[in-house]
Amino acid sequence: MFTWLSSPEWHRSSRWFQRTLLGVALGSGLGVGCRRAEPEPVSDTQAPPSGSPAPGAATPGAATPKTLPAAEILWTKPASWEERPASAMRKASYRIPGAAGDAEVAVFYFGPSSGGGVEANIARWLAQFADLPPDAARRDRLSFGGFEVSTVRVESGTFSSGMPGGPTTPKENWGLHAAVVETPSGAYFFKMTGPKATVQAEEPQFLELLKSVHGKS
């Protein structure tokens, strides 16, 4: 037998029943419109965990770019030479147009006490010519702008162009005129290579460039 509750009693019982159901739902996390709390995302501006490198910091063991000192010498480029893009080690690069073919002048600087000595570099340049007779290279010791300058010239030979240790391309009837300028902050290497007719025609301009070398004030 069911006993019907009077209106006030029914409302009190109904409210008690609703509160009970809501309590059960909240306790179990299954209530309507309720969800389990998610962890807050980590901001990329937060400090990294202890022991982790800060953003932008160098990774231990990673190579650090080498910074070379400022150039100690300056020189004047011949008007007919076309300037080309330089690089970290190649301080300047020039293209020389010629009827027999274009020649190139590159200026290298490797920092103080780097790049090898005068004799080591001259020997390396001469080794780029195949079967070069011992007396084929002409050498001079000069002084320009207060700096000691060693020069070497090869009138003609088969030149192996390309990066050291990489593939090379033999260039027949090529010439070389190169110089080592010794400065207190290290040697500068000036190297002109190209078809022998172009190199021979540009030797006066190459010497004028060397004579223009002076210390940076």
pLDDT of residue 51: 39
Which residues fall within 8 angstroms of residue 141, CB to CB, at 6 or more apart? 148, 149, 150, 151
Residue 153 lies in a domain: yes
52 band by pLDDT with thresholds 50, 70 and 90: very low
Residue 14 lies in a domain: no
Domain count, the chain: 1
pLDDT of residue 2: 41
Backbone φ, ψ for residue 114 (5° rounding): -130, 160
pLDDT, tens digit, 9 for 90 and up, residues 57-66 = 333 333 333 4
Task: Report pTM.
Answer: 0.66
pLDDT of residue 83: 95
pLDDT, tens digit, 9 for 90 and up, residues 151-161 = 999 999 999 97
Q: 10 Å Cβ neighbour count for 97?
A: 12
Residue 162 lies in a domain: yes
Residue 22 lies in a domain: no
> What's the rounded Cα separation, in Å, for the pair 116 and 120?
6
CATH code of the domain covering residue 204: 3.40.1000.10
Structure tokens at 139: 């050498």
Helix runs in the chain, H state only: 7-28, 118-127, 196-211
First CA to last CA across the chain, in angstroms?
A: 115
Beta bridge partners of 137: 154
Statement: residue 45 has pLDDT above 70: no
82-86, 133-137, 164-168: segment of lowest average pLDDT: 164-168
Residue 12 lies in a domain: no
Residue written as token pair 């190579």 = 63
Containing structural domain, residue 161: 75-215
Residue 15 lies in a domain: no
Residue 80 lies in a domain: yes
